[in-house]
């Protein structure tokens, strides 16, 4: 039995810890006592309350573990990743890093570390699917649409955050990098709104977000983009807030006090966006890949629709993100994926047998990607 430490015990970190504890000895670490309290009903999981913003504390606590799993907010994800690599430990991470993880590639190789980053649903499973088909096809187009949404639409935002709300705001402010005619172009977040129909859901808004990330470096494809999905009307509200300045980080002075507008916005929005443990939600994703295989035109479409697990009281976003992570964690622990350095999920998908193992692992947990070829 391997020993795993999971950093972060929020909605997704909790699901990761519980899933891994069925096969391994797991310790969950979080600065928030309330998050850890929710794991006390899991006797097989040890808990440690610790401020993970201190890299020295991280290196001390991981010394006795076989693998680290990162499920932390983006603001401390990179420094945590670096601290783990410096300690010579393998890591599978889901943090939505604003930094380029490849900055740590040489460090990881020098430490003989396997570091799988962005290992969630999107980025994550979307990259893995592309990596798998990239080994078989001459791909010309990759288009990914994904969103996590509440079943009940509540006015005015019709949205609840199934992961760190701080990272949600990043999707609305961080410029979106996409690929057109083989060149990387930057477009505003929330741009090029399109209405798209999905089974089980109906019509959703799709808009540009900066989700290609490592694919911009690892893939040479003529057209690539990632878009986020929301209920109709949500994008316009976010644009109004952004254009008014509510998402600005530069402090402004009010009555001789300086305050960052985005900090105020976060304080006001997050209580309204907080996803309760029993709030039912779903994850919807569509991936379209076009190109040629064996000289013939081919289009592959993957569709995912996954809902909250009532029996286990686990959110869909925790399932689809967390179980992708735990599937890859088991590949690393079992010696089935051993590539050293920084490994985005497309590398995992390209490795013989790994994609099939991950898909099988997810299917065992009732997460099924329906595939159609044309």
CATH number, position 203: 3.30.360.10
In whole angstroms, give the CA distance from residue 286 to residue 371.
10
Residues 218-261 pLDDT 10s:
999 999 999 999 999 999 999 999 999 999 999 999 999 999 99
Q: Looking at the DSSP assignment, which residues form a beta bridge with residue 124?
A: 120, 121
In whole angstroms, give the CA distance from residue 82 to residue 68.
12
Per-residue pLDDT, 165 = 67
- Residue-number span of the structural domain to which 258 is assigned: 125-307
Q: Are 363 and 131 in contact (CB under 8 A)?
A: no
Per-residue pLDDT, 171 = 86
The DSSP line for 21-59 is: TTTSEEEEEES-HHHHHTTTT-TTEEEEE--TT-HHHHH
Are 77 and 150 in the same domain? no
Please give the distance of CA 137 from its chain centroid, rounded to a whole number. 26
257 Cβ contact list (under 8 Å, min separation 6) = none
CA gyration radius, the chain: 20
pLDDT beneath 70, residues of the chain: 162-165
Per-residue pLDDT, 232 = 95
Are 195 and 273 in the same domain? yes
Per-residue pLDDT, 162 = 66
Find the CATH number of the domain harbouring 103. 3.40.50.720
Residue 373 lies inside a defined structural domain of this protein: no
Q: Are 248 and 262 in contact (CB under 8 A)?
A: yes
Q: How many domains does the chain have?
A: 2
Q: Are 8 and 163 in contact (CB under 8 A)?
A: no
Q: What SS3 class is residue 316?
A: helix
Q: How many CB atoms lie within 10 A of CB 186?
A: 10
Per-residue pLDDT, 61 = 92
Per-residue pLDDT, 189 = 92
Are 34 and 135 in the same domain? no
Are 193 and 68 in the same domain? no
3-state secondary structure 176-243: EEEEECCEEEEECCCCCCEEEEECCCEEEEEEECCCCCCHHHHCCCCEEEEEEEECCCHHHHHHHHHH
248 Cβ contact list (under 8 Å, min separation 6) = 260, 261, 262
Region of residue 85 (left: phi > 0; alpha: psi -120 to 50; beta: else): alpha
Are 114 and 214 in the same domain? no
Are 300 and 331 in the same domain? no
Are 67 and 177 in the same domain? no
Residues 169-209 pLDDT 10s:
888 998 999 999 999 999 999 999 999 999 999 999 999 99
Name the percent of the chain in helix, strand, coil, to the closest 5. 35, 30, 35
Residue 258 lies inside a defined structural domain of this protein: yes
Q: What is the DSSP letter of 175?
A: P
Per-residue pLDDT, 74 = 82
Pairing of strands 114-116, 341-343: parallel
């Amino acid at each position: 039995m391997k020993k795993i430490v999971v950093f972060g015990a929020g909605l997704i970190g909790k699901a990761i810890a519980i899933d891994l504890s069925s096969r391994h000895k797991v310790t969950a670490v979080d600065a928030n006592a309330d998050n850890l309290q929710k794991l006390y009903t899991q006797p097989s999981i040890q808990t440690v309350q610790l401020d993970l913003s201190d890299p020295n504390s991280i290196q001390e606590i991981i010394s006795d573990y076989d693998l680290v799993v990162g499920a932390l907010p983006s603001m401390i994800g990179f420094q945590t990743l670096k601290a783990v690599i410096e300690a010579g430990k393998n890591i599978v991470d889901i943090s939505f890093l604003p930094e380029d993880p490849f900055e740590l590639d040489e460090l990881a190789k020098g430490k003989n570390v396997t570091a799988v980053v962005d290992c969630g649903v999107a980025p994550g499973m979307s990259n893995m699917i592309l990596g798998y088909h990239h080994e078989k096809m001459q791909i010309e187009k990759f288009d990914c649409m994904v969103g996590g949404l509440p079943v009940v639409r509540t006015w005015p935002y019709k949205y609840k955050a199934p992961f760190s709300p701080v990272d949600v705001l990043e999707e609305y402010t961080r410029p979106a990098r996409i690929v057109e005619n083989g060149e990387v172009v930057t477009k505003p977040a929330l741009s090029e709104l399109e209405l798209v129909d999905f089974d089980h859901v109906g019509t959703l808004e799709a808009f540009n977000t900066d989700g290609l990330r490592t694919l911009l470096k690892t893939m040479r494809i003529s057209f690539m983009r990632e878009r986020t999905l929301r209920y109709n009307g949500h994008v316009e509200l976010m644009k109004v807030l952004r254009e008014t300045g509510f998402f600005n980080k530069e402090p402004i002075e009010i009555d001789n006090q300086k305050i960052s507008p985005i900090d105020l916005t976060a304080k006001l929005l997050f209580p309204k966006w907080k996803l309760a443990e029993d709030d039912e939600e779903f994850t919807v994703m569509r991936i379209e890949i076009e190109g040629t295989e064996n000289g013939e035109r081919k289009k592959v479409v993957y569709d995912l629709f996954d809902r909250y697990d009532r029996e286990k009281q686990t959110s869909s976003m925790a399932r689809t993100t967390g179980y992708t992570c735990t599937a890859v964690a088991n590949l690393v622990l079992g010696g089935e994926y051993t590539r050293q350095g920084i490994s985005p999920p497309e590398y995992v998908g390209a490795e013989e047998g790994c994609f099939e193992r991950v898909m099988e692992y997810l299917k065992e947990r009732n997460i099924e990607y329906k595939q159609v070829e044309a």
